[in-house]
Structure 1
Amino acid sequence: MNSSPSVKIVSKCFVKPKTILEESKKPYYLSPWDFAMLSVHYIQKGLLFQKPLHSTDTLLDKLRESLAIALVHFYPLAGRLSAQINENTKSYSVFVDCSNSPGAGFIYATSEAVNHDGRTMSLLTVQVTELVDGIFIGLSINHAMGDGTSFWNFFSAWSEIFQAQESNKTDELYLKNPPVLKRYIPQGYGPLFSLPYSHPDEFIRTYESPILKERIFCFSSETIRLLKAKINQVCGTTSISSFQSLTAVIWRCITRARRLPIERETSCRLAADNRGRMYPPLPRDYFGNCLSALRTAAKAGVLLENDLGWAALKVHQAVADHTSEKVTIMIDQWLKSPFIYHIDRLFEPMSVMMGSSPRFDKYGCEFGMGKALTLRSGYAHKFDGKVSAYPGREGGGSIDLEVCLVPQFMEALESDEEFMSLVYF
């Protein structure tokens, strides 16, 4: 989804919600979780489909029409970020203006941008690329507007509307999982939060990834099942999940591939959805950011000297310890001292970061072209040690891992017998 000399922009336009709701005429306020995302890249993900029998022009018309309907349900994505600055008090506030915006972008290529660029860029951009024998549909969503759960909820809703449109049922459409747009605002605060800055240059930092090699490794449902059973048996428990088991494998194998000194600390982080961990919990379809990056760590020598079960227990404990009390403490800390995430400071060198989730129904997004052939992500959020988890196309609990490493580490990982014995081709 990053721009390339080989990508030709065929057309550009903006798409507004088909119906302008009364609530969309008011400012749309962001939560503390959202503010923290202002300096990270847009989420860029997309699906590759078999080329349809009908013309691409017909597909594009249907995509634009269904997008206009989807934006009625997700109207903040058609807006723009608006800033209020008070230089005297060093106060910088941001909200979404849905009234003074041309709408969501609908183009053939996307830009690499950070989330604060949503003041001048669309908060949502659709990229449709026609290939020789396929169609790639990609979305780029401002991360201040939502996390991975929100991203795929929108993608799924758009697909649902497109499918209903094919059956001429859009007039009676009720989404299976309508978004809950009311943002989380801690009691006694807001609705408009302020950052202790007087200019965006004080908190916006651009990030350029190093030269990376990227590869997708596939793990069958049977491999995942056996791995989970083996680890739980070794640990004398039944509570370690499939994803925690696979995370332990990738943490150890990447650490071995890096050939770190035995005393060097290496960390492993997992993106955790806080919706169900809040008290009271937020709705499952809450639209916005509600994430934490859980962390566990060990010295490289200790991690590799111990067996896989030891690492899996470390990962499992990090997840088990992430309670509603921990989430509340994190929110309170932000309210007392607001901060902005910066990729180069958030993750330590020689760490592993497990992002996205195999739980998202990514292959359930169909646009009249059947099940997608594969899933790909864009340039955003790529760094050495970044791993994104996707459901395998075969379903049934299979998992695909998109791994980003500097070339020499990737070469070593591809030669790791323990790791490659689990991968299927």
Structure 2
Amino acid sequence: MSSSPAVVNLISKSMVKAQPPSQLPAGQKCNLTPWDLAMLSYNYIQKGHLFANLPPTLSIDNIIDSLKTSLSATLHHFYPLAGRLATQHELDSDGNVTAMFVFIDCNNEGAEFIHADAHSISVEDVLAPSSDVPSNLIRQFFPFHGAVCHDGHVLPLVAVQLTVLADGIFLACSFNHAIGDGTSYWYFMNTWAEICRSESNQGHRHVPLDRYFMDEAKPPIKLSFSNESEFIVRYSPPPLREKMFHFSSEALTKLKTKTNEEHGTSNISSFQSLSALMWRCIIRAWRLPAEQVTSCRLAIQNRSRLQPPLSPNYFGNSIEGISSAAKAGELLANGIGWAAWAIHEAVVAHTDDVIRGNVRKWVEAPVMYSGGMLDGKFCVLMGSSPRFDMYGCEFGWGKGVALRSGSASKFEGKVSSYPGWEGGGSVDLEVCLSTEAMTALEADPEFLNVVSLNIN
């Protein structure tokens, strides 16, 4: 890391509105589904691209102009993102609040665009090869540190920060998770990148956007709260080490073969095998008593599992958490094939009937996710997905050299998945652990047998 202070200086801040404005009636509402509402106490999605080797003829002013113009055109298609959250209260005969309806006011107040400078920081400082992620530095690249989605009543639903480094740029986005999940986020980001790199920079094409929801719980959804303080939790995690680990496609193929051979099947996927590896190795690193119940939780996509499936263009949240549980001693005494099969069974059991039943239960008794909900529960949470086209998100300056995330939604045992830079089925994992547990993980023989030596 450079000896200079790691300071990010704000240069300018502006609001980008949809142009042309979407042809919506005045006061247009976009209702939130149960999956959306469950995220009101969760943090914004925060993902960012590190770019290096920019064309020498491309000035920062040109980059900013192109980003803002194309963002405006993109917001025309993704019109909910240019709005703000709003709440309508239901009152009893005495004027007391008995319930609330939260929705998107599609008022085109706009998304925030921030230009920042960090010329004392290099691309190498951000990459921090063979070292921990410099989280205190990277946190400064992202807007809305500590914000929860309910803050979208006053904060923009999307904020972008372009930070200029000594030899590159970092483009970060904070995206309100109550508006959409990872699939929706990358749909938006890749559409923006496509419009930005197009010659016209205006994106004169049709971008399908579908908000249809299944009949069991069509919005608007009544929330039986009198005040948001009844469900908003602001979580501050303890100090954690964050590190990126790389898994080559060859190593993952060998791991998948091993897990399937151990259990006498061919149905366990590469990601289920990788999840089982992280479950076992992190639980071992925590040095838990044999009788301690542990779990591996996966964020799973509902779109294709519903019958009929949701539209591929569905824009919103459509994810749930599924969990496999085992006592620490049982998990470590059995092989990785046993753990991977437990995860596989949880995935297979997540059917249309289960999804619809979960939605009905949520409507009857809403539960809001929060950043600290799983902290201290001896749970390994596998978030995000290596299937998202993250490196295909090119704005006309070439492929990003790395992906990093902000401080949002991090806790002990959180593992976020990214596609590996070289593609081909490789995977990068961002792991958050205490100092002691991370040190143990880095020395774990089972882990070291799979992870690439060139950790970065």
Which TM-score band applies after superposition, normalised by the shorter structure? Answer: over 0.9
Residue among 56, 60, 70 paired with 1:56: 60
Distance in 2 (alpha carbons) for counterparts of 1:285 and 1:221:
29
8 A Cα contact 1:179 1:287, kept in partner: no
8 A Cα contact 1:240 1:316, kept in partner: yes
The CA deviation at 1:86 is 2.6
**CA shift digits 1:369-390 (9 cap, x unpaired):** 1111000000000000000010
- The residue identity in structure 2 corresponding to 1:110 is P
Residue among 383, 395, 400 paired with 2:428: 400
What corresponds to 1:122 in structure 2? 156
8 A Cα contact 2:210 2:311, kept in partner: no
What corresponds to 1:168 in structure 2? 200
Matches within 5 A, 1:354-393: 354-393=382-421
What corresponds to 2:81 in structure 1? 77
8 A Cα contact 2:371 2:410, kept in partner: no
Q: 344-353 or 316-325: which moved more?
A: 344-353
**CA shift digits 1:305-358 (9 cap, x unpaired):** 111111111111110111111101101101222221223235652210000000
The CA deviation at 1:288 is 0.3
Distance in 2 (alpha carbons) for counterparts of 1:123 and 1:185:
24
RMSD: 1.6
Residues 1:332 and 2:360 are matched in the alignment:
yes
Distance in 2 (alpha carbons) for counterparts of 1:82 and 1:280:
31
- The residue identity in structure 1 corresponding to 2:269 is S
Could you say what secondary structure the match of 1:343 adopts? coil
- The residue identity in structure 1 corresponding to 2:215 is P
8 A Cα contact 2:195 2:203, kept in partner: no
What corresponds to 2:134 in structure 1? none
Say how many residue pairs are matched.
415
Residue among 238, 242, 265 paired with 1:210: 238
What corresponds to 2:114 in structure 1? 107
Distance in 2 (alpha carbons) for counterparts of 1:186 and 1:380:
32
The CA deviation at 1:180 is 2.5
Residues 1:20 and 2:21 are matched in the alignment:
yes
What corresponds to 2:166 in structure 1? 132
Distance in 2 (alpha carbons) for counterparts of 1:255 and 1:298:
11
- The residue identity in structure 2 corresponding to 1:133 is D
**CA shift digits 1:385-414 (9 cap, x unpaired):** 000010000100000000000111001101
The CA deviation at 1:157 is 0.5
- The residue identity in structure 2 corresponding to 1:31 is T
**CA shift digits 1:256-307 (9 cap, x unpaired):** 1111000001100001000011122101221100011110010000100111
8 A Cα contact 2:29 2:103, kept in partner: yes
Distance in 2 (alpha carbons) for counterparts of 1:171 and 1:274:
30
8 A Cα contact 1:209 1:382, kept in partner: yes
Could you say what secondary structure the match of 2:372 adopts? helix
Residues 1:94 and 2:102 are matched in the alignment:
yes
Distance in 2 (alpha carbons) for counterparts of 1:162 and 1:150:
18
Distance in 1 (alpha carbons) for counterparts of 2:109 and 2:383:
32
Q: What is the TM-score normalised by the length of structure 1?
A: 0.94
8 A Cα contact 1:231 1:308, kept in partner: yes
Could you say what secondary structure the match of 1:181 adopts? coil
Q: What is the TM-score normalised by the length of structure 2?
A: 0.88
The CA deviation at 1:21 is 1.8
Mark the CA change 1:162 to 1:171 in structure 2 (over 3 Å): closer, same or farther.
closer
Percent identity of equivalent pairs = 48
Distance in 2 (alpha carbons) for counterparts of 1:80 and 1:172:
25
Distance in 1 (alpha carbons) for counterparts of 2:212 and 2:60:
37
